[in-house]
Amino acid sequence: MGLFIVFEGGEGSGKSTQVRRLAGRLAASLSEVLTTYEPGGTDVGEEVRRILIKPHEIPIEPSTELLLFVAARAQLTRQVLLPALQRGAAVVCDRYAASSLAYQGYGRGVDLKTVKALNDVATLGLVPDIIFLLDTPPDEALKRKTKAPDRFEQEDNGFHERVREGYRALAAEQPERWVVVDGLEPPDIIEDAVWSHVARLLDSRP
């Protein structure tokens, strides 16, 4: 199996930037590096993303939101993630299963056991080798956004704070898998911190 790395965090935390930077570093020494994201990464996922991200006049129920994310995740896992990892590729993903726990579980109030059970169905038990949480105060992170806010960015600060605390709780539960990084640090500092952990992980693999 290849190497599966995930970046998590709230809106505007800088995940996409770090995904690109890490992929660039990995490409210098590995034969295949794949970047992808949630929701999306497949034709089905892109259709789901359009529904989830675009602001709507009619609210989407939390359980409906969760099921849409899970559907996109199931497609991504089977169509993209598992085949790439079975080829021995390094996969760097912007969001994965923990996002549903943080957003729909802690943020929306959906029962966490329900979220975990649906995640198990979607992921076939696939878990990342390492998860980087870019921990950033929501009021600071959202200032970075320059485009019109999407449906999640339009949520109030209380929602974003619950998501942040959810991520912190998840990281505390599995410190062997999660690395919490200060998202307020300059991108170059974050990149170096991420790479130090990934380099050790690469060195420890057979």
Question: Residue 94 in 3-state DSSP?
Answer: strand
Cα–Cα distance measured from residue 59 to residue 2, given in angstroms and rounded to the nearest whole number:
39
Find the length of the chain: 206
Cα–Cα distance measured from residue 152 to residue 20, given in angstroms and rounded to the nearest whole number:
23
Per-residue pLDDT of the chain (206 residues; tens, 9 = 90+): 899 999 999 998 999 999 999 999 999 989 999 999 999 999 999 999 999 998 877 889 999 999 999 999 999 999 999 999 999 999 999 999 999 999 999 999 999 999 999 999 999 999 999 999 999 999 887 777 767 788 998 899 999 999 999 999 999 999 999 999 999 999 999 999 999 999 999 988 77
pLDDT value for 28: 93
CB 108 within 8 A of CB 62: yes
Q: What pTM, to 2 d.p., does this model score?
A: 0.95
Could you tell me which of 122, 137, 126, 136 has the C-alpha nearest to residue 177?
126
- CATH 3.40.50.300 describes domain 3-204: yes
pLDDT value for 206: 72
Alpha helices in the chain (DSSP H): 15-27, 43-53, 62-76, 82-86, 97-100, 112-123, 138-141, 157-173, 187-204
pLDDT value for 146: 67
The sheet carrying 178-182 orders its strands as 33-37, 90-94, 3-8, 130-135, 178-182
